[in-house]
Chain A
Amino acid sequence: MLQFLLKRLALVIPAFFGVTLLTFALIHLIPGDPVLLMAGERGIAPERHEELRREMGLDRPMVIQYLHYIGGVFQGDLGKSLISKKPVMEEFLTLFPATIELSLCAMIFAVTIGLPAGILAAVRRGTVFDHSVMAVSLTGYSMPIFWWGLLLILLFSVQLGWTPVSGRISALYWVDTVTGFMLIDSLLSDEAGAFTSAVRHLILPSIVLGTIPLAVIARMTRSATLEVLREDYIRTARAKGLSPMRVIGLHALRNALIPVITVIGLQVGVLLAGAILTETIFAWPGVGKWLVESIGRRDYPAVQGGILLVATVVILVNLVVDILYGVINPRIRHTR
Protein backbone atom coordinates (compact mmCIF):
# COMPACT_ATOMS: atom_id res chain seq x y z
CA MET A 1 0.00 0.00 0.00
CA LEU A 2 2.80 2.42 0.92
CA GLN A 3 4.55 1.72 -2.36
CA PHE A 4 1.31 2.33 -4.23
CA LEU A 5 0.84 5.64 -2.42
CA LEU A 6 4.39 6.76 -3.17
CA LYS A 7 4.03 5.86 -6.84
CA ARG A 8 0.89 7.93 -7.15
CA LEU A 9 2.49 10.85 -5.31
CA ALA A 10 5.49 10.66 -7.61
CA LEU A 11 3.14 11.26 -10.54
CA VAL A 12 1.52 14.27 -8.91
CA ILE A 13 4.69 16.29 -8.34
CA PRO A 14 5.78 16.58 -12.00
CA ALA A 15 2.17 17.34 -12.91
CA PHE A 16 2.14 20.24 -10.45
CA PHE A 17 5.43 21.63 -11.70
CA GLY A 18 4.23 21.23 -15.27
CA VAL A 19 1.26 23.43 -14.43
CA THR A 20 3.45 26.06 -12.75
CA LEU A 21 5.64 26.11 -15.88
CA LEU A 22 2.53 26.67 -17.99
CA THR A 23 1.18 29.48 -15.83
CA PHE A 24 4.65 31.04 -15.61
CA ALA A 25 4.91 30.88 -19.39
CA LEU A 26 1.49 32.53 -19.59
CA ILE A 27 2.84 35.82 -18.29
CA HIS A 28 5.96 35.71 -20.41
CA LEU A 29 4.52 34.52 -23.69
CA ILE A 30 1.66 36.96 -23.94
CA PRO A 31 2.40 39.44 -26.66
CA GLY A 32 3.43 42.79 -25.25
CA ASP A 33 5.35 44.06 -22.29
CA PRO A 34 3.81 43.15 -18.90
CA VAL A 35 4.68 46.58 -17.50
CA LEU A 36 2.92 48.37 -20.33
CA LEU A 37 -0.07 46.06 -19.86
CA MET A 38 -0.21 47.01 -16.21
CA ALA A 39 0.09 50.68 -16.96
CA GLY A 40 -2.90 50.48 -19.26
CA GLU A 41 -4.00 53.06 -21.79
CA ARG A 42 -2.37 56.07 -20.20
CA GLY A 43 1.15 54.87 -20.80
CA ILE A 44 4.10 55.32 -18.47
CA ALA A 45 7.24 57.40 -18.10
CA PRO A 46 10.48 55.65 -19.21
CA GLU A 47 12.12 56.00 -15.75
CA ARG A 48 9.08 54.59 -13.99
CA HIS A 49 8.98 51.82 -16.62
CA GLU A 50 12.55 50.78 -15.82
CA GLU A 51 11.83 50.97 -12.09
CA LEU A 52 8.74 48.78 -12.41
CA ARG A 53 10.61 46.23 -14.50
CA ARG A 54 13.21 45.94 -11.74
CA GLU A 55 10.50 45.81 -9.08
CA MET A 56 8.73 42.97 -10.86
CA GLY A 57 12.03 41.18 -11.41
CA LEU A 58 11.62 41.22 -15.18
CA ASP A 59 15.26 42.24 -15.74
CA ARG A 60 16.59 39.03 -14.22
CA PRO A 61 17.24 35.73 -16.05
CA MET A 62 14.21 33.50 -16.76
CA VAL A 63 15.37 30.72 -14.45
CA ILE A 64 15.69 33.08 -11.50
CA GLN A 65 12.30 34.58 -12.31
CA TYR A 66 10.77 31.09 -12.37
CA LEU A 67 12.40 30.12 -9.05
CA HIS A 68 11.16 33.37 -7.58
CA TYR A 69 7.66 32.59 -8.87
CA ILE A 70 7.72 29.05 -7.45
CA GLY A 71 8.96 30.37 -4.12
CA GLY A 72 6.01 32.73 -4.02
CA VAL A 73 3.58 29.97 -4.98
CA PHE A 74 4.71 27.80 -2.10
CA GLN A 75 4.09 30.66 0.30
CA GLY A 76 0.60 31.14 -1.13
CA ASP A 77 1.64 34.36 -2.87
CA LEU A 78 0.12 34.43 -6.35
CA GLY A 79 0.50 38.14 -6.89
CA LYS A 80 -2.14 40.84 -6.90
CA SER A 81 -5.02 41.39 -9.26
CA LEU A 82 -4.34 44.32 -11.59
CA ILE A 83 -7.94 45.47 -11.29
CA SER A 84 -8.98 45.03 -7.66
CA LYS A 85 -5.40 45.21 -6.30
CA LYS A 86 -6.35 42.42 -3.88
CA PRO A 87 -4.19 39.27 -3.56
CA VAL A 88 -5.24 36.67 -6.15
CA MET A 89 -5.33 33.95 -3.50
CA GLU A 90 -7.80 35.95 -1.41
CA GLU A 91 -10.10 36.58 -4.39
CA PHE A 92 -10.00 32.93 -5.33
CA LEU A 93 -10.83 31.77 -1.80
CA THR A 94 -13.85 34.10 -1.52
CA LEU A 95 -15.27 32.85 -4.81
CA PHE A 96 -14.35 29.19 -4.55
CA PRO A 97 -17.17 28.12 -2.15
CA ALA A 98 -19.76 29.20 -4.72
CA THR A 99 -18.14 26.97 -7.32
CA ILE A 100 -17.87 24.04 -4.88
CA GLU A 101 -21.52 24.44 -3.92
CA LEU A 102 -22.62 24.44 -7.55
CA SER A 103 -20.35 21.51 -8.48
CA LEU A 104 -21.51 19.43 -5.51
CA CYS A 105 -25.18 19.96 -6.35
CA ALA A 106 -24.48 19.14 -10.00
CA MET A 107 -22.70 15.96 -8.97
CA ILE A 108 -25.54 14.94 -6.64
CA PHE A 109 -27.98 15.51 -9.51
CA ALA A 110 -25.84 13.47 -11.90
CA VAL A 111 -25.29 10.55 -9.53
CA THR A 112 -28.84 10.26 -8.17
CA ILE A 113 -30.23 10.04 -11.69
CA GLY A 114 -27.35 8.51 -13.64
CA LEU A 115 -26.65 5.59 -11.33
CA PRO A 116 -30.18 4.12 -11.09
CA ALA A 117 -30.80 4.82 -14.80
CA GLY A 118 -27.64 2.97 -15.77
CA ILE A 119 -28.39 -0.03 -13.53
CA LEU A 120 -32.00 -0.30 -14.73
CA ALA A 121 -30.91 -0.02 -18.35
CA ALA A 122 -28.45 -2.88 -17.87
CA VAL A 123 -30.97 -5.07 -16.06
CA ARG A 124 -33.58 -4.42 -18.75
CA ARG A 125 -31.14 -4.70 -21.59
CA GLY A 126 -32.63 -4.32 -25.07
CA THR A 127 -35.92 -2.85 -23.87
CA VAL A 128 -37.35 0.51 -24.82
CA PHE A 129 -36.16 1.86 -21.48
CA ASP A 130 -32.59 0.78 -22.19
CA HIS A 131 -32.62 2.34 -25.64
CA SER A 132 -34.07 5.60 -24.32
CA VAL A 133 -31.46 5.85 -21.58
CA MET A 134 -28.69 5.30 -24.11
CA ALA A 135 -30.18 7.80 -26.56
CA VAL A 136 -30.67 10.45 -23.90
CA SER A 137 -27.19 9.97 -22.49
CA LEU A 138 -25.57 10.17 -25.92
CA THR A 139 -27.48 13.40 -26.53
CA GLY A 140 -26.43 14.72 -23.12
CA TYR A 141 -22.85 13.80 -23.93
CA SER A 142 -23.01 15.76 -27.19
CA MET A 143 -24.70 18.76 -25.60
CA PRO A 144 -23.12 22.21 -25.84
CA ILE A 145 -23.93 23.01 -22.21
CA PHE A 146 -23.83 26.77 -22.68
CA TRP A 147 -26.71 26.42 -25.14
CA TRP A 148 -28.50 23.90 -22.93
CA GLY A 149 -28.39 26.48 -20.14
CA LEU A 150 -29.89 29.14 -22.42
CA LEU A 151 -32.69 26.77 -23.45
CA LEU A 152 -33.55 25.92 -19.86
CA ILE A 153 -33.60 29.62 -18.94
CA LEU A 154 -35.84 30.25 -21.94
CA LEU A 155 -38.30 27.54 -20.86
CA PHE A 156 -38.29 27.62 -17.06
CA SER A 157 -37.36 31.21 -16.28
CA VAL A 158 -38.75 33.20 -19.17
CA GLN A 159 -41.78 31.18 -20.29
CA LEU A 160 -42.89 29.52 -17.07
CA GLY A 161 -41.34 31.86 -14.53
CA TRP A 162 -40.54 28.98 -12.17
CA THR A 163 -36.89 29.72 -11.51
CA PRO A 164 -34.82 32.90 -11.38
CA VAL A 165 -32.56 33.72 -14.29
CA SER A 166 -29.26 34.38 -12.55
CA GLY A 167 -27.30 34.86 -9.36
CA ARG A 168 -27.20 32.89 -6.12
CA ILE A 169 -30.03 34.47 -4.15
CA SER A 170 -32.75 37.05 -4.64
CA ALA A 171 -31.70 40.66 -4.04
CA LEU A 172 -34.52 40.90 -1.49
CA TYR A 173 -32.47 39.02 1.07
CA TRP A 174 -29.28 40.02 2.74
CA VAL A 175 -27.35 37.03 3.99
CA ASP A 176 -24.13 37.38 5.96
CA THR A 177 -21.25 35.31 4.67
CA VAL A 178 -20.32 32.72 7.28
CA THR A 179 -19.21 29.65 5.36
CA GLY A 180 -19.44 30.99 1.82
CA PHE A 181 -21.96 28.28 0.99
CA MET A 182 -25.23 30.04 0.27
CA LEU A 183 -27.41 27.08 1.28
CA ILE A 184 -25.86 26.99 4.75
CA ASP A 185 -25.55 30.74 5.16
CA SER A 186 -29.18 31.32 4.20
CA LEU A 187 -30.27 28.73 6.77
CA LEU A 188 -28.18 30.46 9.42
CA SER A 189 -29.65 33.84 8.62
CA ASP A 190 -32.90 34.91 10.24
CA GLU A 191 -34.51 35.91 6.97
CA ALA A 192 -37.55 33.81 6.18
CA GLY A 193 -37.59 32.55 2.61
CA ALA A 194 -33.87 33.09 2.05
CA PHE A 195 -33.15 29.36 1.96
CA THR A 196 -35.94 28.67 -0.55
CA SER A 197 -34.64 31.46 -2.72
CA ALA A 198 -31.12 30.01 -2.62
CA VAL A 199 -32.42 26.56 -3.58
CA ARG A 200 -34.43 27.98 -6.47
CA HIS A 201 -31.33 29.75 -7.76
CA LEU A 202 -29.33 26.53 -7.63
CA ILE A 203 -31.68 24.23 -9.58
CA LEU A 204 -31.05 25.24 -13.19
CA PRO A 205 -27.28 25.73 -12.95
CA SER A 206 -26.94 22.34 -11.25
CA ILE A 207 -28.92 20.59 -13.98
CA VAL A 208 -26.89 22.29 -16.70
CA LEU A 209 -23.55 21.54 -15.10
CA GLY A 210 -24.59 17.99 -14.19
CA THR A 211 -25.77 17.02 -17.67
CA ILE A 212 -22.50 15.74 -19.12
CA PRO A 213 -21.45 13.88 -15.92
CA LEU A 214 -24.97 12.41 -15.83
CA ALA A 215 -24.60 11.07 -19.36
CA VAL A 216 -21.13 9.67 -18.68
CA ILE A 217 -22.17 8.07 -15.37
CA ALA A 218 -25.30 6.46 -16.87
CA ARG A 219 -23.33 4.97 -19.77
CA MET A 220 -20.52 3.76 -17.54
CA THR A 221 -22.86 2.25 -14.94
CA ARG A 222 -24.77 0.42 -17.65
CA SER A 223 -21.72 -1.14 -19.26
CA ALA A 224 -20.11 -2.00 -15.90
CA THR A 225 -23.31 -3.66 -14.67
CA LEU A 226 -23.68 -5.59 -17.93
CA GLU A 227 -20.12 -6.83 -17.56
CA VAL A 228 -20.69 -8.01 -13.99
CA LEU A 229 -24.05 -9.64 -14.76
CA ARG A 230 -22.20 -12.03 -17.08
CA GLU A 231 -19.96 -13.33 -14.26
CA ASP A 232 -20.25 -16.84 -12.87
CA TYR A 233 -20.90 -15.73 -9.32
CA ILE A 234 -24.04 -13.93 -10.45
CA ARG A 235 -25.30 -17.14 -12.02
CA THR A 236 -24.45 -18.94 -8.78
CA ALA A 237 -26.33 -16.37 -6.74
CA ARG A 238 -29.34 -16.69 -9.01
CA ALA A 239 -29.13 -20.49 -8.90
CA LYS A 240 -29.16 -20.36 -5.12
CA GLY A 241 -32.58 -18.80 -5.46
CA LEU A 242 -31.76 -15.32 -4.20
CA SER A 243 -34.24 -12.64 -5.12
CA PRO A 244 -33.35 -10.47 -8.14
CA MET A 245 -33.14 -7.44 -5.87
CA ARG A 246 -30.56 -9.17 -3.71
CA VAL A 247 -28.54 -10.46 -6.65
CA ILE A 248 -28.35 -7.05 -8.28
CA GLY A 249 -28.20 -4.93 -5.14
CA LEU A 250 -25.64 -6.95 -3.25
CA HIS A 251 -23.69 -9.16 -5.61
CA ALA A 252 -23.63 -7.20 -8.82
CA LEU A 253 -23.54 -3.60 -7.66
CA ARG A 254 -20.55 -3.94 -5.38
CA ASN A 255 -18.35 -4.94 -8.25
CA ALA A 256 -20.00 -2.82 -10.90
CA LEU A 257 -19.48 0.32 -8.84
CA ILE A 258 -15.68 0.14 -8.85
CA PRO A 259 -15.18 1.58 -12.34
CA VAL A 260 -18.13 3.90 -11.81
CA ILE A 261 -16.48 5.51 -8.78
CA THR A 262 -13.38 6.26 -10.86
CA VAL A 263 -15.49 7.82 -13.54
CA ILE A 264 -17.31 9.94 -10.97
CA GLY A 265 -13.95 11.10 -9.63
CA LEU A 266 -12.66 11.94 -13.07
CA GLN A 267 -15.77 14.04 -13.68
CA VAL A 268 -14.57 16.55 -11.09
CA GLY A 269 -12.21 18.00 -13.67
CA VAL A 270 -15.05 18.12 -16.17
CA LEU A 271 -17.22 19.86 -13.59
CA LEU A 272 -14.69 22.57 -12.81
CA ALA A 273 -14.17 23.22 -16.52
CA GLY A 274 -17.91 23.15 -17.13
CA ALA A 275 -18.36 25.60 -14.26
CA ILE A 276 -16.56 28.19 -16.41
CA LEU A 277 -19.41 28.03 -18.93
CA THR A 278 -22.28 27.48 -16.49
CA GLU A 279 -21.25 30.33 -14.21
CA THR A 280 -20.94 32.66 -17.17
CA ILE A 281 -24.49 31.90 -18.31
CA PHE A 282 -26.14 32.14 -14.91
CA ALA A 283 -24.01 35.03 -13.59
CA TRP A 284 -22.98 32.70 -10.78
CA PRO A 285 -20.32 34.51 -8.73
CA GLY A 286 -17.77 31.67 -8.74
CA VAL A 287 -14.24 30.99 -9.87
CA GLY A 288 -15.17 30.14 -13.47
CA LYS A 289 -16.91 33.43 -14.20
CA TRP A 290 -14.10 35.32 -12.49
CA LEU A 291 -11.54 33.54 -14.68
CA VAL A 292 -13.33 34.42 -17.91
CA GLU A 293 -13.82 38.00 -16.81
CA SER A 294 -10.16 38.26 -15.83
CA ILE A 295 -9.14 37.14 -19.32
CA GLY A 296 -11.48 39.75 -20.78
CA ARG A 297 -9.97 42.45 -18.53
CA ARG A 298 -6.45 41.25 -19.31
CA ASP A 299 -5.89 40.81 -15.58
CA TYR A 300 -3.04 38.38 -16.11
CA PRO A 301 -2.00 37.75 -12.49
CA ALA A 302 -5.60 36.70 -11.76
CA VAL A 303 -5.71 34.44 -14.84
CA GLN A 304 -2.35 32.95 -13.96
CA GLY A 305 -3.24 32.30 -10.32
CA GLY A 306 -6.74 31.11 -11.12
CA ILE A 307 -5.59 28.52 -13.64
CA LEU A 308 -2.88 27.30 -11.28
CA LEU A 309 -5.31 26.93 -8.38
CA VAL A 310 -8.06 25.21 -10.37
CA ALA A 311 -5.52 22.83 -11.93
CA THR A 312 -4.06 22.07 -8.50
CA VAL A 313 -7.51 21.24 -7.15
CA VAL A 314 -8.15 18.91 -10.09
CA ILE A 315 -4.78 17.18 -9.66
CA LEU A 316 -5.41 16.68 -5.92
CA VAL A 317 -8.93 15.33 -6.48
CA ASN A 318 -7.62 12.92 -9.10
CA LEU A 319 -4.97 11.78 -6.63
CA VAL A 320 -7.59 11.13 -3.95
CA VAL A 321 -9.74 9.22 -6.46
CA ASP A 322 -6.74 7.14 -7.49
CA ILE A 323 -5.95 6.26 -3.90
CA LEU A 324 -9.58 5.47 -3.11
CA TYR A 325 -9.65 3.23 -6.14
CA GLY A 326 -6.67 1.34 -4.76
CA VAL A 327 -8.38 1.05 -1.38
CA ILE A 328 -11.60 -0.32 -2.87
CA ASN A 329 -9.97 -2.54 -5.44
CA PRO A 330 -7.01 -4.60 -4.15
CA ARG A 331 -6.26 -5.79 -7.69
CA ILE A 332 -5.10 -2.30 -8.65
CA ARG A 333 -3.00 -1.93 -5.53
CA HIS A 334 -1.04 -5.11 -6.11
CA THR A 335 -0.45 -5.07 -9.83
CA ARG A 336 2.48 -3.04 -11.09
Chain B
Amino acid sequence: MLRYVIKRLIGIIPILFFVSIFIFLFVHLIPGDPARLVAGQDATLQDVEVVRQELGLNQPIHIQYFNFISGIFQGDVGSSIKTGRPVFDEIASRFMPTFWLTFWSMIWAVMVGLLIGVISATKRNKWQDYLGMFGAVSGISMPSFWMGLLLIQVFAVQLGWLPVGGLESWQSYILPSITLGSGVAAVVARFSRSSLMDILKDDYIRTGRAKGLNEHKVVWGHGLKNAMIPVVTMTGLQFGFLLGGSIVIETVFSWPGLGRLLIDSVAFRDYPVIQAEMLLFALEFILINLIVDLIYGFLNPQIRYD
Protein backbone atom coordinates (compact mmCIF):
# COMPACT_ATOMS: atom_id res chain seq x y z
CA MET B 1 0.00 0.00 0.00
CA LEU B 2 2.77 2.44 0.92
CA ARG B 3 4.53 1.71 -2.35
CA TYR B 4 1.32 2.48 -4.18
CA VAL B 5 0.96 5.82 -2.39
CA ILE B 6 4.54 6.77 -3.24
CA LYS B 7 4.05 5.71 -6.84
CA ARG B 8 0.97 7.89 -7.13
CA LEU B 9 2.69 10.85 -5.46
CA ILE B 10 5.59 10.65 -7.88
CA GLY B 11 3.09 10.35 -10.71
CA ILE B 12 1.55 13.77 -10.10
CA ILE B 13 4.86 15.65 -10.09
CA PRO B 14 5.07 16.08 -13.88
CA ILE B 15 1.44 17.19 -14.04
CA LEU B 16 2.07 19.75 -11.30
CA PHE B 17 5.10 20.97 -13.21
CA PHE B 18 3.21 21.44 -16.48
CA VAL B 19 0.24 23.02 -14.74
CA SER B 20 2.52 25.52 -13.02
CA ILE B 21 4.13 26.42 -16.37
CA PHE B 22 0.70 26.81 -17.93
CA ILE B 23 -0.46 29.15 -15.18
CA PHE B 24 2.81 31.03 -15.17
CA LEU B 25 2.51 31.66 -18.89
CA PHE B 26 -1.09 32.72 -18.36
CA VAL B 27 -0.12 36.26 -17.43
CA HIS B 28 2.19 36.42 -20.41
CA LEU B 29 -0.58 35.36 -22.78
CA ILE B 30 -2.73 38.33 -21.91
CA PRO B 31 -2.71 40.78 -24.77
CA GLY B 32 -0.88 43.92 -23.79
CA ASP B 33 1.75 44.68 -21.22
CA PRO B 34 1.16 43.22 -17.75
CA ALA B 35 3.23 45.96 -16.18
CA ARG B 36 1.05 48.58 -17.82
CA LEU B 37 -2.04 46.75 -16.54
CA VAL B 38 -0.81 46.75 -12.98
CA ALA B 39 0.40 50.31 -13.11
CA GLY B 40 -2.89 51.53 -14.53
CA GLN B 41 -3.81 53.31 -17.76
CA ASP B 42 -2.83 56.79 -16.52
CA ALA B 43 0.61 55.80 -15.32
CA THR B 44 3.64 57.40 -16.90
CA LEU B 45 6.19 55.34 -18.78
CA GLN B 46 8.50 55.70 -15.84
CA ASP B 47 5.90 54.38 -13.43
CA VAL B 48 5.36 51.38 -15.69
CA GLU B 49 9.08 50.70 -15.66
CA VAL B 50 9.14 50.85 -11.87
CA VAL B 51 6.29 48.34 -11.72
CA ARG B 52 8.12 46.14 -14.22
CA GLN B 53 11.15 46.16 -11.94
CA GLU B 54 9.01 45.39 -8.92
CA LEU B 55 7.28 42.48 -10.58
CA GLY B 56 10.56 41.19 -11.95
CA LEU B 57 9.15 41.25 -15.47
CA ASN B 58 12.43 42.57 -16.85
CA GLN B 59 14.25 39.39 -15.86
CA PRO B 60 14.80 36.40 -18.12
CA ILE B 61 11.74 34.16 -18.36
CA HIS B 62 13.20 31.16 -16.53
CA ILE B 63 14.18 33.38 -13.60
CA GLN B 64 10.65 34.74 -13.60
CA TYR B 65 9.30 31.20 -13.46
CA PHE B 66 11.65 30.35 -10.61
CA ASN B 67 10.51 33.44 -8.70
CA PHE B 68 6.90 32.51 -9.37
CA ILE B 69 7.35 29.02 -7.95
CA SER B 70 9.35 30.12 -4.91
CA GLY B 71 6.70 32.79 -4.32
CA ILE B 72 4.04 30.10 -4.21
CA PHE B 73 5.97 28.19 -1.58
CA GLN B 74 6.26 31.34 0.52
CA GLY B 75 2.57 32.10 0.17
CA ASP B 76 3.33 35.15 -1.93
CA VAL B 77 1.38 35.18 -5.16
CA GLY B 78 1.33 38.91 -5.77
CA SER B 79 -1.20 41.56 -4.93
CA SER B 80 -4.69 42.21 -6.24
CA ILE B 81 -4.84 45.00 -8.79
CA LYS B 82 -8.32 45.89 -7.60
CA THR B 83 -7.80 46.09 -3.83
CA GLY B 84 -4.03 46.19 -3.55
CA ARG B 85 -4.19 43.53 -0.84
CA PRO B 86 -2.06 40.39 -1.11
CA VAL B 87 -3.84 37.81 -3.25
CA PHE B 88 -3.15 35.21 -0.57
CA ASP B 89 -5.29 37.11 1.94
CA GLU B 90 -8.04 37.69 -0.60
CA ILE B 91 -8.26 33.98 -1.31
CA ALA B 92 -7.80 32.72 2.24
CA SER B 93 -11.01 34.26 3.53
CA ARG B 94 -12.94 32.85 0.58
CA PHE B 95 -11.62 29.34 0.72
CA MET B 96 -13.67 27.77 3.50
CA PRO B 97 -17.15 28.78 2.27
CA THR B 98 -16.40 27.22 -1.11
CA PHE B 99 -14.83 24.16 0.47
CA TRP B 100 -17.84 23.45 2.66
CA LEU B 101 -20.26 24.14 -0.15
CA THR B 102 -18.56 21.62 -2.44
CA PHE B 103 -18.12 19.18 0.44
CA TRP B 104 -21.80 19.05 1.40
CA SER B 105 -22.85 19.00 -2.23
CA MET B 106 -20.59 16.01 -2.84
CA ILE B 107 -21.81 14.14 0.22
CA TRP B 108 -25.49 14.28 -0.61
CA ALA B 109 -24.89 13.85 -4.34
CA VAL B 110 -22.91 10.63 -3.90
CA MET B 111 -25.36 9.18 -1.39
CA VAL B 112 -28.48 9.95 -3.39
CA GLY B 113 -26.79 9.11 -6.69
CA LEU B 114 -25.67 5.71 -5.42
CA LEU B 115 -29.10 4.93 -4.03
CA ILE B 116 -30.81 5.80 -7.32
CA GLY B 117 -28.17 3.87 -9.26
CA VAL B 118 -28.54 0.72 -7.18
CA ILE B 119 -32.33 0.82 -7.28
CA SER B 120 -32.27 1.35 -11.03
CA ALA B 121 -29.82 -1.49 -11.57
CA THR B 122 -31.78 -3.96 -9.46
CA LYS B 123 -35.19 -2.90 -10.81
CA ARG B 124 -33.88 -2.92 -14.33
CA ASN B 125 -36.44 -1.99 -17.00
CA LYS B 126 -39.11 -1.45 -14.39
CA TRP B 127 -40.73 1.90 -13.63
CA GLN B 128 -38.21 2.65 -10.84
CA ASP B 129 -35.41 2.30 -13.36
CA TYR B 130 -37.09 4.49 -15.97
CA LEU B 131 -37.96 7.14 -13.40
CA GLY B 132 -34.47 7.13 -11.90
CA MET B 133 -32.72 7.31 -15.24
CA PHE B 134 -35.02 9.98 -16.65
CA GLY B 135 -34.42 11.98 -13.48
CA ALA B 136 -30.70 11.49 -13.93
CA VAL B 137 -30.56 12.62 -17.55
CA SER B 138 -32.69 15.61 -16.58
CA GLY B 139 -30.28 16.40 -13.76
CA ILE B 140 -27.39 16.37 -16.22
CA SER B 141 -29.26 18.55 -18.71
CA MET B 142 -30.53 21.14 -16.27
CA PRO B 143 -28.71 24.50 -16.27
CA SER B 144 -27.60 24.82 -12.66
CA PHE B 145 -28.12 28.57 -12.56
CA TRP B 146 -31.72 28.07 -13.73
CA MET B 147 -32.35 25.41 -11.13
CA GLY B 148 -30.83 27.65 -8.47
CA LEU B 149 -33.06 30.57 -9.44
CA LEU B 150 -36.14 28.34 -9.48
CA LEU B 151 -35.31 27.05 -6.01
CA ILE B 152 -34.79 30.61 -4.76
CA GLN B 153 -38.10 31.64 -6.31
CA VAL B 154 -40.02 28.80 -4.62
CA PHE B 155 -38.29 28.24 -1.27
CA ALA B 156 -36.95 31.69 -0.51
CA VAL B 157 -39.23 34.17 -2.26
CA GLN B 158 -42.60 32.38 -2.23
CA LEU B 159 -42.40 30.18 0.85
CA GLY B 160 -39.81 32.17 2.73
CA TRP B 161 -38.36 29.04 4.32
CA LEU B 162 -34.74 29.55 3.37
CA PRO B 163 -32.46 32.51 2.77
CA VAL B 164 -32.25 33.99 -0.73
CA GLY B 165 -28.48 34.03 -0.75
CA GLY B 166 -25.32 34.84 1.15
CA LEU B 167 -23.85 32.83 3.99
CA GLU B 168 -25.35 33.48 7.39
CA SER B 169 -26.39 30.20 8.96
CA TRP B 170 -26.43 26.53 8.15
CA GLN B 171 -29.73 27.04 6.29
CA SER B 172 -27.77 29.10 3.78
CA TYR B 173 -26.09 25.90 2.63
CA ILE B 174 -29.26 24.03 1.72
CA LEU B 175 -30.29 25.56 -1.60
CA PRO B 176 -26.79 26.04 -3.04
CA SER B 177 -25.80 22.49 -2.10
CA ILE B 178 -28.92 21.01 -3.68
CA THR B 179 -28.28 23.00 -6.84
CA LEU B 180 -24.58 22.27 -7.05
CA GLY B 181 -24.87 18.56 -6.23
CA SER B 182 -27.76 17.67 -8.53
CA GLY B 183 -25.60 17.27 -11.62
CA VAL B 184 -23.12 15.07 -9.78
CA ALA B 185 -25.91 13.00 -8.24
CA ALA B 186 -27.24 12.42 -11.73
CA VAL B 187 -23.87 11.32 -13.09
CA VAL B 188 -23.20 9.08 -10.09
CA ALA B 189 -26.65 7.50 -10.50
CA ARG B 190 -26.10 6.73 -14.18
CA PHE B 191 -22.61 5.46 -13.67
CA SER B 192 -23.30 3.32 -10.62
CA ARG B 193 -26.29 1.80 -12.38
CA SER B 194 -24.28 0.66 -15.37
CA SER B 195 -21.35 -0.40 -13.22
CA LEU B 196 -23.54 -2.44 -10.89
CA MET B 197 -25.42 -3.97 -13.80
CA ASP B 198 -22.12 -5.21 -15.22
CA ILE B 199 -21.07 -6.54 -11.84
CA LEU B 200 -24.37 -8.34 -11.30
CA LYS B 201 -23.56 -10.43 -14.37
CA ASP B 202 -20.31 -11.62 -12.80
CA ASP B 203 -19.77 -15.19 -11.71
CA TYR B 204 -19.24 -14.46 -8.03
CA ILE B 205 -22.68 -12.89 -7.85
CA ARG B 206 -24.07 -16.22 -8.99
CA THR B 207 -21.88 -17.90 -6.38
CA GLY B 208 -23.40 -15.64 -3.75
CA ARG B 209 -26.89 -16.60 -4.81
CA ALA B 210 -25.93 -20.27 -4.93
CA LYS B 211 -24.81 -19.94 -1.31
CA GLY B 212 -28.38 -19.03 -0.41
CA LEU B 213 -27.74 -15.32 0.27
CA ASN B 214 -30.74 -13.05 -0.18
CA GLU B 215 -30.81 -10.43 -2.93
CA HIS B 216 -30.12 -7.65 -0.46
CA LYS B 217 -26.84 -9.26 0.64
CA VAL B 218 -25.93 -10.18 -2.93
CA VAL B 219 -26.44 -6.64 -4.25
CA TRP B 220 -25.27 -4.50 -1.32
CA GLY B 221 -22.68 -6.92 0.03
CA HIS B 222 -21.08 -8.53 -2.99
CA GLY B 223 -22.21 -6.27 -5.83
CA LEU B 224 -21.78 -2.79 -4.50
CA LYS B 225 -18.23 -3.00 -3.22
CA ASN B 226 -17.07 -4.17 -6.63
CA ALA B 227 -19.25 -1.65 -8.42
CA MET B 228 -17.80 1.12 -6.24
CA ILE B 229 -14.32 0.70 -7.69
CA PRO B 230 -15.07 2.44 -11.01
CA VAL B 231 -17.67 4.69 -9.37
CA VAL B 232 -15.05 6.12 -7.01
CA THR B 233 -12.77 7.05 -9.89
CA MET B 234 -15.59 8.71 -11.72
CA THR B 235 -16.67 10.56 -8.61
CA GLY B 236 -13.21 12.08 -8.36
CA LEU B 237 -13.60 13.49 -11.84
CA GLN B 238 -16.98 14.83 -10.82
CA PHE B 239 -15.31 16.81 -8.10
CA GLY B 240 -13.85 18.93 -10.86
CA PHE B 241 -17.33 19.44 -12.18
CA LEU B 242 -18.36 20.59 -8.70
CA LEU B 243 -15.48 23.03 -8.38
CA GLY B 244 -16.32 24.45 -11.79
CA GLY B 245 -20.01 24.46 -11.00
CA SER B 246 -19.42 26.33 -7.76
CA ILE B 247 -18.27 29.32 -9.81
CA VAL B 248 -21.74 29.60 -11.35
CA ILE B 249 -23.68 28.67 -8.22
CA GLU B 250 -21.83 31.19 -6.06
CA THR B 251 -22.84 33.92 -8.46
CA VAL B 252 -26.49 32.82 -8.28
CA PHE B 253 -26.53 32.65 -4.48
CA SER B 254 -24.19 35.60 -3.79
CA TRP B 255 -21.92 33.16 -1.98
CA PRO B 256 -18.80 34.69 -0.43
CA GLY B 257 -16.53 32.09 -1.98
CA LEU B 258 -13.73 31.61 -4.49
CA GLY B 259 -16.04 31.29 -7.48
CA ARG B 260 -17.60 34.70 -7.11
CA LEU B 261 -14.20 36.21 -6.43
CA LEU B 262 -13.03 34.70 -9.72
CA ILE B 263 -15.93 36.13 -11.72
CA ASP B 264 -15.46 39.54 -10.12
CA SER B 265 -11.75 39.36 -10.91
CA VAL B 266 -12.38 38.43 -14.55
CA ALA B 267 -14.72 41.39 -14.90
CA PHE B 268 -12.06 43.65 -13.35
CA ARG B 269 -9.18 41.97 -15.23
CA ASP B 270 -7.51 41.38 -11.88
CA TYR B 271 -4.93 38.97 -13.28
CA PRO B 272 -2.93 38.12 -10.17
CA VAL B 273 -6.12 36.93 -8.47
CA ILE B 274 -7.25 34.97 -11.55
CA GLN B 275 -3.85 33.34 -11.80
CA ALA B 276 -3.82 32.35 -8.14
CA GLU B 277 -7.36 31.02 -8.30
CA MET B 278 -6.66 28.93 -11.39
CA LEU B 279 -3.68 27.46 -9.61
CA LEU B 280 -5.66 26.79 -6.46
CA PHE B 281 -8.51 25.10 -8.31
CA ALA B 282 -6.10 22.96 -10.30
CA LEU B 283 -4.16 21.96 -7.18
CA GLU B 284 -7.33 21.11 -5.35
CA PHE B 285 -8.55 19.01 -8.25
CA ILE B 286 -5.24 17.15 -8.57
CA LEU B 287 -5.19 16.56 -4.82
CA ILE B 288 -8.76 15.21 -4.82
CA ASN B 289 -7.89 12.85 -7.65
CA LEU B 290 -4.90 11.63 -5.71
CA ILE B 291 -7.11 10.91 -2.70
CA VAL B 292 -9.56 9.14 -4.97
CA ASP B 293 -6.76 7.01 -6.35
CA LEU B 294 -5.81 6.04 -2.83
CA ILE B 295 -9.39 5.10 -1.99
CA TYR B 296 -9.41 3.08 -5.20
CA GLY B 297 -6.35 1.21 -4.01
CA PHE B 298 -8.03 0.62 -0.70
CA LEU B 299 -11.18 -0.78 -2.33
CA ASN B 300 -9.37 -2.95 -4.82
CA PRO B 301 -7.16 -5.50 -3.08
CA GLN B 302 -5.43 -6.43 -6.33
CA ILE B 303 -3.81 -2.98 -6.48
CA ARG B 304 -2.19 -3.27 -3.09
CA TYR B 305 0.02 -6.16 -3.98
CA ASP B 306 1.14 -4.96 -7.39
Query: Does A pair with B?
Result: no
